[in-house]
Amino acid sequence: MTALSRLFQLVVTLLAASFLIFFAMQVLPGDPADVLLGQNADPEAVAALRAELGLDRAIPIRFVDWLGGVLTGDLGVSATYDVPVAHLIAERAVVSLPLAALAVGLAIVIALPAGVGAAIARGRPVDRVVVAGALVGLSVPNVWLGLILIFVFAVALGVAPAGGFPGWDQGFGAFGALLMPAVALAAPQAAILTRLVRAAVLEALDEDYVTLARAKGRSRRAAVWRHALPNALPPILTLIGLQFGFLVAGGVIIETVFSLPGLGRLLFQAVAQRDLMVVQGVVLVLVSMVVIVNAAMDGLALLSDPRQRADRPKAARAS
């Protein structure tokens, strides 16, 4: 039932997003034929190109056509690059998806121990350092952080490239090219997540079951990991899902700073060139990813919540 309603939600969201983007792009002045042929172009040539690109047809017809193509797995052809949109997206997704995954991974790896540690050490120096660190992480714009990372590691130390992506056939070199951008992308997310983990664990620590566990002789640390954290997980997982959307948006900026050939930069260029097919295709992929990841996280949150496990409804609380 949930799966079905999720699927329905996904389809409705995708339709609404494509519809919005399609018509928003129509409102923007300029079209790809104009941009491609420039100032001195012969109006006849512009008209010919416009016809070739199908831009001379009525807007609703173009939308329905595009939608029909999508349903049969055809995202159309890029007006600017003259190659299939699906091909362009595949080329870029292999950069953007690992980057987003790396950033999420980094944010979790930083935030979980930091947040839990701060909660355990509430009010003590460790806690204060973590809280202050999170505030800094939250306040630093990731563009700036990206530039600082480039100047420190590429210019001053010369241990990392100043941007660009060598391709996955370079193995570790490709991974290295994604590391700094992932750090820049992860920093604010890690900060938000740390604060949430700390707050959620602190709240759980005040619950009766933790007090009970402590009374039964468990150490504070064990009580946190065994009882408080699992109960704090649902909101944390939901937040990670929501952050994924921000990572996708932040990717546009970070990919530009690090000259990475990712989906964000493709989208940005496509908007500037009014390459509607590419914009539509990329947005479709990004929106699907965000919706799917959010759904997956919500599902995980549900599974992880001891109170919501159907198989042992009371055992979790009484153990």
- Contact positions vs another protein (CB under 8 A): 28-31, 34-42, 44-45, 47-49, 80-83, 88, 91-92, 147, 150-151, 154-155, 158, 161-165, 167, 256-262, 265-266, 269, 272-274
Nearer to another protein, 42 or 311 (CB): 42
Nearest distance, CB of residue 293 and another protein, angstroms: 23
Handedness of CA 243, 5, 25, 262 (dihedral sign): positive
Torsion of CA 40, 43, 48, 54, to 10 degrees: 100
Nearest distance, CB of residue 138 and another protein, angstroms: 23
Torsion of CA 164, 170, 176, 177, to 10 degrees: 10
Nearest distance, CB of residue 290 and another protein, angstroms: 21
Nearer to another protein, 133 or 261 (CB): 261
Nearest distance, CB of residue 216 and another protein, angstroms: 57
The gap between the terminal CA atoms of the chain, to the nearest Å, is: 31
Nearer to another protein, 43 or 123 (CB): 43
Nearest distance, CB of residue 181 and another protein, angstroms: 11
Nearer to another protein, 8 or 151 (CB): 151
Nearer to another protein, 163 or 245 (CB): 163
- If DSSP codes are grouped into helix, strand and coil, which group holds residue 84? strand
**3-class SS letters over 96-151:** HHHHHHHHHHHHHHHHHHHHHHHHHCCCCHHHHHHHHHHHHHHHCCHHHHHHHHHH
